[in-house]
Amino acid sequence: MKIHEELKKLATFSASENPSVTRILYTKEDLAARAYFISLCEEAGLKVTVDAIGNTFARWEGTQPELPAVATGSHIDAIPLSGQYDGTVGVLGSLEAIRYLKSINFVPKRSIEIILFTAEEPTRFFIGCLGSRMLSGQLQREAAEKLKDSNGLFLNDVRTTAGFTGDLNSVALSKDHYHAFVELHIEQGPRLEKEKIDIGIVTKIAAPSSLRLKLIGEGGHAGAVLMPIRKDAGVAGAEIMQTVERIALESKSEDTVATTGIFDILPRAVNSIPKEAYLEIDLRDTNIETRNKALDDLKKEVEAICKRRNIQYILEMVNCDPPAICDEELVNTVESVANELNYTSKKMVSHAYHDSLFMAQLFPTTMIFIPSKGGVSHRPDEYSSPEEIEKGVMTLALTLKEMVG
């Protein structure tokens, strides 16, 4: 299969040195990687279009193009110093699946469309799944236009400079646009490898939420301000960070996970009391009721901690998305295909969220997982073997074959 060399080539479009990959939205590396993917699609005889946010569509026309197409795909943006398989296996794997179907002279009734989603990672504009959020209508133009990166540049300014100049209102899809959607992806966890399972079939995707929290205390000299009168924003932040962990551990759902991924203080001097603290918190669950209860508990705890410590705070919900329940018929189709190929398979939950989460708001959706070595992801040593990738591609190819008729 060509995919192995293409994955290596794609990894060279990076702002960091091999073996790491850094590919941030709308940078020269991102644009070069997109151009490479488009060239591969055109070489395979696919028709390529691009929307106003940069979502890229490569279409294999079916014999009945008036029917809603079946879609597949993933993303190619990469967080700083990450690996070469996250998202990219689903993008290049979709292309490889179409190549395989063409090689066996299969003629689809429905069209098959690969989607390269814009910015699944939240690296540049601090919100994940930017492209699929807009496709699903979960992110409207007005909110999108307010997004700024760490340099204070607005989304509209950056995207138009990168060459994406259309009207953002045109991005959202109707519910009848696609017949179904399936995404091939590395697991990013240890379960498949540990259990020696070839294929994971996703039945539901966890509901993500994220918060930004700014704590405002009172700075002062570390030696001169005595302990009883301090308003230490850093200590308040540390207590909140521990509370985040405790709330997840005490949840009635085993799928509740919570992480304080960013914790900064000012002025960051060893002899100065922290006057401010900044936290970003990720809280997710496959069950929206227990997820929302954990969120409510966290908000109450933040208020109580800050009141007790005489700290002011500003709490902002960045996103609070619903979980996705995957389509039972699609799940059964993937399972049947895996059995036909003599691959072992397992139905499972995706605790990480993906573009499929938002596609599932509109279309019947599922995901196909392949093993990740050691469960590692978002690191340079992220790895899925050629054999594992090829099994994923074959499962996707024959699933698409069943879906398009």
DSSP secondary structure, 197-227, as one string: -SEEEEEEE-EEEEEEEEEE-B-EETTTS-G
Q: What is the pLDDT of residue 84?
A: 98
Contact present, 120 and 75 (Cβ < 8 Å): yes
- Residues 294-309, mean pLDDT to the nearest whole number: 98
* pLDDT over threshold 90, residue 207: no
CATH of domain 3-206+323-404: 3.40.630.10
Alpha-carbon distance of 399 to 405, in angstroms, equals 10
Dihedrals phi, psi of 303, to nearest 5 degrees: -60, -45
244-248: which pairs have CB atoms within 8 A and are 24 or more residues apart? 244/281, 244/283, 244/298, 247/294, 247/297, 247/298, 247/301, 248/283, 248/294
Residue 359: strand, helix, or coil? helix
- Mean pLDDT check: name the lowest of 216-220, 226-230, 252-256: 252-256
- Residues 88-92, mean pLDDT to the nearest whole number: 98
- Residues 224-233, mean pLDDT to the nearest whole number: 97
- Beta-ladder partners of 21: 82
Instruction: Report pLDDT digits (tens) over 306-344.
Output: 999 999 999 999 999 999 999 999 999 999 999 999 999
DSSP 8-state secondary structure symbol assigned to residue 119: -
In the chain, CATH 3.40.630.10 sits at 3-206+323-404
Structure token pair of residue 211: 């918060």
Contact present, 92 and 186 (Cβ < 8 Å): no
CB environment 340-366: b (16+ within 10 A), e (fewer): eeeeebeebbbbbbbbbbbbbbbbbbb
CA–CA distances in Å: residue 120 to residues 25, 129, 131, 233, 327: 9, 4, 7, 33, 22
**Percent of the chain whose predicted confidence (pLDDT) is above 90:** 99
pTM above 0.95, yes or no: no
- Residues 221-229, mean pLDDT to the nearest whole number: 97
Alpha-carbon distance of 142 to 156, in angstroms, equals 11
Residue whose pair of structure tokens reads 């070069």 in the numeric block: 32
How confident is the prediction for the chain on average, in pLDDT?
Answer: 97
Instruction: Report pLDDT digits (tens) over 124-170.
Output: 999 999 999 999 999 999 999 999 999 999 999 999 999 999 999 99
Type of residue found at 27? T
Instruction: Find the farthest-apart pair of alpha carbons in the chain and give their distance in angstroms, rounded.
Output: 80
Residue whose pair of structure tokens reads 């990894």 in the numeric block: 11
Q: What is the pLDDT of residue 314?
A: 98
CA–CA distances in Å: residue 36 to residues 12, 84, 292: 11, 15, 42
Domain range 208-320, CATH architecture: 2-Layer Sandwich (3.30)
